[in-house]
Amino acid sequence: MKFALYSQKYKAAYQPILAAIFQELLAHGDQIVVEADLWRCYKGQLTEEMAVQTFRSVADLPSDTDLMLTIGGDGTILWAMTYIQHLQIPILGINAGRLGFLATISEGEIADMFAKVRNGQYTVERRSVLQITDSDGTPISPLNFALNEITVIRQNSTAMITVEAYLGGHYLTSYWADGLIVSTPTGSTGYSLSCGGPVIMPHSKTLVLTPIAPHNLNARPLIIPDTTEITLQVYNREGCYLATYDARSTTLPCKTAVKISLASFSLGTVCLENNEFFKTLRHKLLWGEDMRN
């Protein structure tokens, strides 16, 4: 098999995780492709030479890679997606961060993880990806897509903004708020959840619009089909606003309306046997936990 390895940064705490991964891959004669900066940092810890292929962008990540392993948290997976994009390489996250709904494998589960992968004891879930463009369809940045959510929010001001929302060209409402979140099912357990949005099953074909601290108190999260094209027009005193797409952002003038829709590609995430979404919810959100039990 051919495995790619990615982490946003190298930390000393990752040393035993990387050692366990390399030991497994080398023992089975797998091909290894490592993100260039991660390899530069890690190879300095090795006592002997090891030849591996590296990548720096989607352009030099081999398209025949079977699986990308990430080390970190959910944010690491969001960045890993920028290297995969249309290549359809599934991701499996090893959690070296904090709360993780995507990166669910612990350090102690690495050996079991590889055994299940090699035995085919997993499924690949296709997760929706959003894109953001200006009103004429031009991407607002080279990496204009998001796995979790796209938001329009106020910038450099304590004043609210007004967000006019149109669904499929039809006027919905105007939100008076700090901003508006357009979340995928994957992102429903992130920023949207903290703003009162619902938890949505990952394979649901829906999006949720969640206002951020709305002043019109009758504004509530709204679930819509993911085939809906969303247009947002922002007004405020400063004449500009911030559009975010996962961990990236762009400042836009208020005269620029944005369109949000499904991207041309989706992201595959690996779900091992006995590691389903309900189990993750119970563990991460402490569902069912009660001092009386």
Q: Which residue has the tokens 């920023």?
A: 191
| Strand stretches in the chain, DSSP E | 2-6, 31-35, 53-55, 67-72, 91-95, 103-105, 122-127, 130-134, 145-146, 149-153, 161-167, 170-177, 179-183, 206-212, 222-225, 230-235, 240-245, 248-253, 258-262, 267-272
Choosing from 30, 37, 74, 134, which is the catalytic residue? Answer: 74
**Cα distances (Å, whole numbers) of residue 16 to 13, 21, 45, 71:** 7, 9, 11, 11
CA–CA distance, 115 with 68 (Å, rounded to integer): 16
Q: Which residue has the tokens 């189990």?
A: 279
User: Could you tell me which of 200, 247, 277 has the C-alpha nearest to residue 80?
Assistant: 247
CA–CA distance, 217 with 198 (Å, rounded to integer): 17
Residue 74: active-site member:
yes
The SS3 of residue 221 is coil
CA–CA distance, 258 with 234 (Å, rounded to integer): 9
Element containing residue 44 per DSSP (H, E): none
The residues carrying an active-site annotation are: 74
